[in-house]
Amino acid sequence: MASLKKVMEDEIACKEWFLPGNACCAGCGLEVALRWAMKALGPEVAMVTPASCLNVVIGLWPKTAPDFPQFNMAFAAGAAVATGFDAAFKAKAHKFPGKGWDKMTSICFAGDGGTTDIGIQGLSGAAERNSDIIYVCYDNEAYMNTGIQRSSSTPHGAVTTTTTFGKERYKKNLPAIMRAHDIPYVATCSISEPLDIYEKFKKAKSIRGTKYIHILAPCAPGWGFPSEDTIEIARMAVKTGFWILYEVENGVLTLSKKSKTLLDPSKRVPIIEYVANQKRFAGISEKTLIELQEQIDQDWENISKEIFCQQEYSK
């Protein structure tokens, strides 16, 4: 992982590209995700934001917080618009060679609803074409902008305004779906690990083709925890193994530093430590809690098997 010293030497990273005075709630996880993504990418980007919290937190017209080209867009259109940016930059690079148009990064920064639900068709299309874009899902696990309704990314057991007694189904594993598209880069991040975010976006920027980065971004009002605890909640999601940090380059999975040790089940903090501090899990039954833990253990079992196979194969 990148060291803080290395990041401090990066002039672009030392600057803020998502400016203070924006309209984020106190303790917004999304803000951390966007700030650190932009520190790695710098301003030579064209960012599209399909309907999500980000449309609002950037500031109500005429105020605006991003210090880089940023465009609001309809819910299902994110990946396609980013593809359009990229096509235009390629056309401009042809017409105006040597002017830096080939260095532009096209990026879609979408929420979990815009990614795992309404936007999945466009995203799947872009990935199948291997469009030269970075697609980011900042995942706060429900439709927070419209008032905490369940999405396919809402975890099992979580109460939302449309899952009154907790969600029966499990969280859709979108990074796995994106892996199945055989794209050059898939990564997961947590806002508790900003240096990891920095490093992964640096890498994504250097790769041609579709890059998918999924960032867990806790939401204080939506999940029901004090706003000063956002980072701690995100950290606990990693420590329990509920949220696994990894990257997949050309099909090969590597666990990231904070998750690597959790291959050993005894190193994982029990899930109850994670759910106990969130109101959305306040009424969770023992049965659901066990199911959640079983799901986590199963996910890790799968990853362990994959890593074991990799090691066997490389022998």
Partner 1 sequence: MIKPELKDFLQSEETKIIKGNVAAAYAAKSARVQVISAYPITPQTTVVEKLSEFVDGGLMPGTQYIKVESEHSVLASLVGASMAGTRTFTATSGQGLFYMYEMVHWTAGVRLPIVMAIASRGPAPPWNIWADFTDVISCRDTGWMSAFCANHQEIYDEILMSYKVCEDYDVLLPKFVAYGGFILSHTSKPVIIEDQDKVDNFLPPLPDEKGWPHIWIDPNRPLMHGNLIMPSGFYSEFRMIIHDALIKSQEKIKAVAKEFEKTFGRSYGNGLIQEYKMDDADVAMLNYGDLALQMEEAVDAVRDEGYKVGMVKLRHFRPFPVKDIVEISKKVKVLGVMDRATAFGSQTGGPVSSEVKTALHGTKGTAMVFPMINGIGGREVTLEQQKEQLKILIKINETGELPEDLLYGTLWHGKLEVD
Task: Point out which residues bind partner 1 (CB under 8 A).
Answer: 43-46, 48, 55-56, 58-64, 66-74, 76-77, 79-85, 87-92, 94-96, 99, 104, 106, 121-122, 124-125, 128-129, 131
Q: Is the Cβ of residue 46 or residue 144 nearer to partner 1 in the bound state?
A: 46
3-class DSSP state for residue 280?
A: helix
CB nearer partner 1, residue 95 or residue 208:
95
Shortest separation between residue 55's beta carbon and partner 1, angstroms: 6
Residue 72 or 254: the one with the smaller Cβ distance to partner 1 is: 72
- Nearest CA to 249 out of 307, 203, 308 is that of 203
Q: How many CB atoms lie within 10 A of CB 188?
A: 24
* Least Å from the CB of residue 128 to partner 1: 7
In this structure, are residues 47 and 109 in contact, taking their beta carbons and an 8 Å threshold? Answer: yes
Are residues 250 and 184 in contact, defined by beta-carbon separation less than 8 angstroms?
yes
Instruction: Measure the CA–CA gap between 149 and 4, rounded to whole angstroms.
Output: 37
- Residue 49: CB minimum distance to partner 1, A: 9
- Whether 311 and 254 have beta carbons less than 8 Å apart is answered as no
The least CB distance from residue 30 to partner 1, in Å, is: 16
Q: Which is nearer to partner 1, 20 or 311 (CB)?
A: 20
Name the residue with tokens 């959790």: 262
Give CA separation, 29 vs 170, 183, 233, in Å: 22, 27, 10
The helix, strand and coil proportions of the chain, stated in percent and rounded to the nearest 5, come to 50, 15, 35
Residue whose CB is less far from partner 1, 135 or 225: 135
**Residue placing its CB nearer to partner 1 in the complex, 135 or 300:** 135
Give residue 175's identity as a one-letter amino acid code: P
Provide the 3-class DSSP secondary structure of residue 290: helix
Nearer to partner 1, 85 or 138 (CB): 85
Minimal distance, residue 280 CB to partner 1, in Å: 26
The least distance separating partner 1 from the CB of residue 135, rounded to whole angstroms, comes to 13
CA distance between the termini of the chain: 26
| Least gap, CB of 40 to partner 1 (angstroms) | 15
